Structure 1
Amino acid sequence: MTGILVTGASGRLGRAVIRSLSVLAPRTRVHALVRRADAAADLRRQGVHARLADYGDPAALAEAFAGIDRLLFISSPELRPAVRWDHHRAVLDAAEGVGHIVYTSVHGADHDPAHAATEAALRERGGATILRNGFYTEPFLVRALDDAQGGTVVSATSGQPLATASVDDLAEAAARALLAVPTPVVRELRGPAWTYDELAELLGVRLGRPVRHRDVPVGEAGPSGPLHAAAASGALAAETPDLGRLLGRPPRGIAEVLGQLPLR
């Protein structure tokens, strides 16, 4: 029986993947890779086999990958492209003997140097499944839910739609891709598109009072401004069928995701 390893298992996506795998695969097969001892201890208390290694430590990675035949390679959180690529190259070197690699890339990976280089290396290696994850739905909704307490949500999207995806759906899709027959393919994972006008209406229902949407300049949209600008250009509008195909069901839309968020 082959071992399954999930890298970045202490992050939001990684934790959700471990939860999905605990339902879909025997727990004895599943291993979680983290870079901090406290995170490893926490996972072990939950009954998860944890291994310790940092993307910047090739020797530790090689040891952590021993006995692993299926790898979910969650991309490095490092924002500097050159450093991220160094991390990814170290993972790929350590994973030389792994039979099936699933890599979590991003929407628009062709325009990101580290993701583009990693995808190219995986294609050259052969046999990898590349998941280009859409932007997470939850951060948009959490911010809007907070803003809605004052009766107004703002965006700089010019009314254009955003095809995002819930973290839990992306995690389940990754788990299912990891357990499937290895397929060298690039999958674009995005859920149902939505607009801030639709979100404001749903927030009003959730809160039991009117909530309106106001479009603002990008500079007034806060940390999400660059993504809002991309949405305003239409770059985030396109839905794709790949996420639903992996899940075997329709992906969650904003109404369902919003219903799962706690009121503050």
Structure 2
Amino acid sequence: MKFSLKGKNVLITGGGSGIGRAISKTFASQGAFVHILELNLENAKETVDEILSEGGEAQAYECNVAKQQDVVSAVKPILETKGVDILVNNAGIAHIGNIENTSESDLDKVYDVNIKGVYNCIYAVIDHMKKNGGIILNMASIASSVGISDRFAYSMSKGAVLTMTYSVAKDYLEYGIRCNSISPARIHTPFVDGFIKKNYPGNEEEMFEKLSKTQPIGRMGTPEEVGNLALYLCSDEASFITGTDFPIDGGFIKLNG
């Protein structure tokens, strides 16, 4: 079977909803044992229950990726019992605002989750992967590569994720570790629905349509589409790919303007 992950142990952060849930379910359907690190344990358990109901294998762990000791403590028993073949750094938070209305605490919060969280998780598994090989997939963004209005802190953080990807790929080539990233445009997740409802009450349908059309293809992407790309990049079929970012953006980067 192509794109099989049978026998692989996968660590996915932020697997309790949206893109993370889709990646978790996709990987489990291809035979992986999925370990979900999630700040919201109840959400993670919902994902696990869905995976188990479909015959897959998964386990949830409460973890704040912004705190290195939390990550090390959560990952240690996994490394000692099953090991980690694939790490997917998906956990992240959004922030809206330019530099003038981004406070120091705003910047620190985005940094702690989106940048330090990725660092913490790679740090926790890299020694194991140096001995056994492995795959690291980071969730970047179109904001890593092009200017997006009112996304100062978020763009800063995702730019860092992109360059971390390049750095790790370069530093660990000789250990059989591949590291790539995915850069989604707007993906239709519960977060998007909540954002529209909060900021545009009474105009939800109009704003959904407007935001959908910011992608040249005319719609938002789906979490499952991102999950399928992630599956390819973490499968043996992508064994010749490392140090590369993959936009999944409906043409946003190349076709806008």
Class of the TM-score when normalised by the shorter of the 2 chains? 0.5 to 0.7
Q: How many residues align?
A: 190
Q: Which SS does the other structure have where 1:100 is aligned?
A: strand
Does residue 134 of structure 1 match 2:185?
A: yes
**Equivalent position to 1:69, from 68, 80, 85:** 85
Deviations 1:210-231 (A, max 9, x none): xxxxxxxxxxxxxxxxxxxxxx
Match of 1:91 in 2: 121
Match of 1:3 in 2: 9
Counterpart AA for 1:13: I
For 2:208 and 2:248, locate their aligned partners in 1 and report how far apart those are by CA, in whole Å. Answer: 26
Listed as ranges, the matches of 1:181-220 within 5 Å are: 181-182=238-239, 183-184=241-242, 185-191=244-250
Give the Å deviation of 1:109. 0.4
Deviations 1:223-245 (A, max 9, x none): xxxxxxxxxxxx66728xxxxxx
Give the Å deviation of 1:132. 0.9
Q: Over alpha carbons, which structure has the higher Rg?
A: 1
Counterpart AA for 2:224: D
Deviations 1:94-122 (A, max 9, x none): 23234210111101303522122222222
**Equivalent position to 1:31, from 11, 35, 38:** 35
Match of 1:121 in 2: 164
For 2:208 and 2:234, locate their aligned partners in 1 and report how far apart those are by CA, in whole Å. Answer: 38
Match of 2:225 in 1: 169
For 1:188 and 1:119, locate their aligned partners in 2 and report how far apart those are by CA, in whole Å. Answer: 11
Match of 1:179 in 2: 235
Match of 1:109 in 2: 144
Give the Å deviation of 1:30. 2.0
Q: Is the 8 A contact 2:139 2:161 kept in 1?
A: no
For 1:147 and 1:19, locate their aligned partners in 2 and report how far apart those are by CA, in whole Å. Answer: 32
After superposition, the CA RMSD in angstroms is 3.3
Q: Is the 8 A contact 2:188 2:223 kept in 1?
A: yes
For 1:153 and 1:75, locate their aligned partners in 2 and report how far apart those are by CA, in whole Å. Answer: 26
Q: Is the 8 A contact 2:188 2:222 kept in 1?
A: yes
For 1:13 and 1:154, locate their aligned partners in 2 and report how far apart those are by CA, in whole Å. Answer: 18
Q: Which SS does the other structure have where 2:255 is aligned?
A: coil
Whichever structure has more helix as a proportion of its residues is 2
For 2:183 and 2:122, locate their aligned partners in 1 and report how far apart those are by CA, in whole Å. Answer: 18
Q: Is the 8 A contact 2:41 2:62 kept in 1?
A: yes
Counterpart AA for 2:15: A
Q: Is the 8 A contact 1:73 1:103 kept in 2?
A: yes
Structure 1: gaps of 5 or more residues: 194-234, 240-264
Counterpart AA for 1:130: S
Match of 2:69 in 1: 59
TM-score by length of 2: 0.61
Looking at both structures, which has the greater relative contact order when contacts are Cα pairs under 8 Å and sequence separation is at least 6? 2
Give the Å deviation of 1:131. 0.8
Does residue 14 of structure 1 match 2:20?
A: yes
For 1:19 and 1:176, locate their aligned partners in 2 and report how far apart those are by CA, in whole Å. Answer: 14
Give the Å deviation of 1:169. 0.8
